[in-house]
């Protein structure tokens, strides 16, 4: 269980994380979603004891990271894959990590095998592609067989096959009862992996929900209609208290009820050319949640 | 998590680094080379002290080994992985300091004693007595054994503050060899500040050639305290740094 409560972090005048609270439960994959610069990495770095919060707490199974003895046995984490030690080999890197936490030295080979890097154990990390580094970061996270896994942008740089692979891996970890928290700015990938989504923008929590509800919560269900006179239909609907707005050749109507819209059009002698229900895409939901703030900031 | 686990991890990390090992090797080879050149090519017989001249040029490389232990991680950000493995930052720094100092001891011992052996072999039976007759002669020949680890600690501290390899290395190579001599050579103030220059104090410990300066024992203590204070400040800085 990961618990973030009232977390705030400033860098000078800039507020990177603003009174943020959310939880990630055992047995679930929790996606931590937000555009670049939303405060995801800062939040995760505070959670992992790499940075200090100005206010609030971040705990893993009830304890701050700094108070967990031999933490790699409890928490496996993957931070910026670019900061892996370029001069070292995976075998050397995982070797000293294991040593520092008294993990069986044989585990290094096992996790490299698990992430598909067994053949590259002796090569310099500096020569790795981003995808290989991501896999190595994941190997480091799994080294201590931890109950909690925290991954910062693990999907970046992975090919489609890699994305399917990581999805299955994380699902397996969650099904074993572990807590899995991963951040991403890519909604599509995350919604396919995560059981629950925590969406943030400008360091603030926007919503914590399940991927399916993100769509209906944020965008709602609409009916789109194309008729002989969209403006007349809009006026008739307004009489009944139903809002609508023009959307190209269509009228976008704020109701999920196609039948009622059809009845209204028919009773006023309007010819209905098209009529269908639509929910938005995940990207639209994401933009609706975070885009307004970006526009504000950019203005 | 114990200090021992961390020290084992740090030693695995450092001894697996070619740059670190090359620096230690330079700390050995430079004094040997100086001894060989000074005793092999000189027309005149040399004193025992001359066999240790090269330590001045070897010791900065040991300092650079200490620098690299910090900067190689701080510069790339990979220090985060070390802190994830042990969130206690003072323990991490102490482990690094222990590994740096422990690696420097045998290097200093071999640098001093082998330089002396080279001197004895090349000088033959002529000239001043190079034998280790008493405590003073032992101090001269074994000085690097004590000074090298202190220099390694200074390197750790400088690396922590500067974070980048290049400036930290330049500072550590130039400071003892060039900058302290320039400061000491300044008119009026040079003589006054000379006594507080740490590497001058290290020199005084080895050669005891300035009757107005500290005695060798106090000079060594001053050099060690200087390194200790610098390291303590570096630990403080590292503990409060966001990664």
pLDDT band at B97 (very low <50, low <70, confident <90, very high): very high
**Range of B131's domain?**
3-174
CA distances from A94 to A74, A106, A108, A233, B103 (A): 16, 10, 6, 66, 23
Q: Cα angle at A19 between A42 and A82, to 5 degrees?
A: 5
Least confident interval from A65-74, A113-122, B1-10, B222-231: B1-10
In the predicted structure, residue A250 carries a pLDDT above the cut 60: yes
* Alpha-carbon span A192 to A31, nearest angstrom: 10
Rounded Cα–Cα distance for residues B236 and A158 (Å): 39
Task: Select the residue of B12, B16, B77 nearest A83 (Cβ to Cβ).
Answer: B77
- Minimum distance, in Å, between the CA of residue A65 and any CA atom of chain B: 7
Number of domains within chain B: 1
Quote the minimal CA–CA distance from A290 to chain B in Å: 27
The answer to whether residue B14 scores a pLDDT higher than 70 is yes
pLDDT, position B1? 52
CATH of segment(s) A221-279: 3.30.70.100
Average pLDDT over residues B27-43: 91
Token digits for B174? Answer: 């130039």
Whole-number pLDDT of residue A217: 67
- How much is the pLDDT for A283? 67
Helix (H, G, I), strand (E, B) or coil at B125: coil
The mean pLDDT value for A28-32 works out to: 94
pLDDT in tens, A134-155: 999 999 999 999 999 999 999 8
Q: Is residue B211 part of a domain?
A: no
- Which of A224-228, B30-34, B42-46 has the lowest average pLDDT? B42-46
Least confident window among A261-270, A278-287, B105-114, B163-172: A278-287
Q: In CATH, what class is A2-214?
A: alpha beta
- A49 and B84 within 8 Å at the Cβ level: the answer is yes
Residue B81 and residue A87: Cβ atoms within 8 Å?
no
pLDDT digits (tens, 9 = 90+) for B190-226: 887 888 899 989 999 999 888 888 899 999 999 999 9
Which ranges in B124-215 belong to alpha helices (H)?
135-162, 165-174, 180-185, 189-194, 198-207
Question: Which chain A residues in 218-277 lie under 8 Å from chain B, judged by CB atoms?
Answer: none
Q: CA-CA distances (angstroms) from residue A201 to A21, A29, B104?
A: 13, 20, 50
Distance CA B188, CA B38 (A): 33
For residue A45, the chain B residue with the least C-alpha distance is B243
**Ranges in chain A annotated CATH 3.40.50.300:** 2-214
Q: Which residues contact A259 (CB under 8 A, 6 or more apart)?
A: none
In A, minimum Cα distance to B95 occurs at A100
H or E, element range at A226: strand A221-227
- B195 inside domain: no
Backbone φ and ψ for B46, nearest 5 degrees, come out as: -115, 160
Say what the pTM is.
0.82
Residue of A nearest to B73 (CA): A85
**Nearest Cβ partner of B8 from A77, A92, A99?**
A99
Q: Is residue B201 part of a domain?
A: no
Over residues A124-140, mean pLDDT: 92
pLDDT value for A292: 55
Whole-number pLDDT of residue A210: 85
Q: What is the pLDDT of residue A295?
A: 40
In a domain, B135, yes or no: yes
Residues of B in contact with A65 (CB under 8 A): 87
Q: How confident is the model at residue A296 (pLDDT cuts 50, 70, 90)?
A: very low
B232 domain residue, yes or no: no
Taking the C-alpha atoms of residue A46 and residue A150, their distance in angstroms, rounded to an integer, is 12
Q: How many CB atoms lie within 10 A of CB B136?
A: 12
- Asked if residue B215 belongs to a domain, the reply is no
Residues of each domain in chain A carrying CATH 3.30.70.100: 221-279
At A299 the pLDDT is 35
Separation of alpha carbons A20 and A205, rounded Å: 6
Whether B102 maps to a domain, the answer reads yes
Q: Which residue of A has its CA nearest to B72?
A: A85
């Amino acid at each position: 269980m990961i618990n973030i409560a009232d977390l705030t972090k400033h860098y000078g005048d800039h507020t990177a994380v603003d009174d943020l609270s959310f939880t990630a439960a055992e047995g679930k994959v929790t996606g931590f979603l937000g555009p670049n610069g939303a405060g995801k990495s800062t939040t995760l770095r505070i959670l992992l004891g790499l940075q200090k919060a100005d206010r609030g707490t971040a705990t893993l199974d009830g304890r701050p990271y700094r108070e967990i003895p031999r933490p790699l046995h409890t928490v496996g984490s993957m931070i910026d894959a670019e900061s892996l030690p370029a001069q070292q080999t995976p075998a050397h890197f995982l070797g000293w990590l294991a040593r520092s936490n008294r993990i069986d030295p044989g585990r290094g080979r096992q996790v490299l095998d698990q992430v598909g890097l067994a053949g590259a154990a002796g090569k310099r990390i500096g020569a790795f592609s981003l995808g290989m580094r991501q896999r190595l970061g994941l190997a480091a996270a799994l080294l201590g067989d931890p109950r909690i896994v925290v991954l910062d942008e693990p999907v970046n740089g992975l090919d489609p096959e890699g994305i399917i692979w990581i999805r299955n891996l994380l699902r397996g970890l969650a099904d074993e009862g572990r807590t899995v928290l991963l951040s991403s700015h890519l909604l599509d990938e995350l919604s396919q992996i995560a059981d629950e989504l925590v969406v943030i923008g400008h360091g603030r929590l926007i919503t914590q929900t399940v991927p399916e509800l993100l769509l209906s919560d944020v965008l709602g269900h609409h009916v789109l209609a194309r008729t002989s006179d969209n403006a007349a239909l809009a006026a008739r609907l307004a009489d009944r208290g139903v809002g609508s707005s023009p959307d190209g050749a269509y009228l976008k109507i704020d109701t999920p009820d196609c039948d009622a819209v059809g009845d209204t059009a028919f009773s006023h002698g309007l010819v209905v050319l098209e009529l269908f229900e639509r929910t938005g895409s995940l990207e639209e939901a994401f933009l609706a949640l975070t885009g307004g703030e970006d526009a504000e900031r950019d203005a | 998590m114990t200090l021992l686990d961390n020290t084992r991890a740090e030693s695995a990390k450092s001894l697996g680094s070619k740059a670190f090992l090359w620096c230690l090797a330079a700390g050995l080879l430079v004094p040997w080379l100086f001894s060989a050149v000074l005793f092999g090519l000189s027309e005149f017989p040399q004193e025992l002290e001359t066999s240790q001249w090269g330590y001045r040029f070897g010791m900065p490389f040991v300092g650079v080994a200490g620098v690299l232990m910090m900067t190689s991680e701080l510069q790339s950000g990979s220090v985060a992985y070390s802190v994830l493995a042990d969130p206690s930052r003072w323990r991490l720094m102490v482990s690094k300091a222990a590994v740096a100092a422990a690696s420097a001891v045998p290097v200093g011992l071999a640098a001093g004693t082998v330089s002396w052996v080279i001197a004895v072999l090349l000088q033959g039976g002529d000239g001043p007595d190079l034998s280790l007759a008493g405590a003073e002669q032992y101090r001269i020949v074994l000085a690097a054994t004590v000074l090298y680890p202190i220099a390694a600690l200074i390197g750790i501290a400088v690396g922590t503050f500067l974070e980048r390899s290049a400036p930290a290395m330049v500072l550590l190579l130039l400071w003892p060899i060039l900058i302290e001599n320039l400061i000491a050579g300044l008119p009026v103030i040079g003589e006054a500040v000379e006594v507080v220059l740490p590497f001058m104090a290290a020199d005084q410990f080895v050669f005891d050639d300035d009757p107005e300066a500290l005695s060798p024992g106090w000079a060594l203590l001053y050099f060690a305290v200087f390194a200790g204070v610098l390291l303590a400040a570096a630990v403080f800085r590292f503990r409060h740094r966001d990664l």
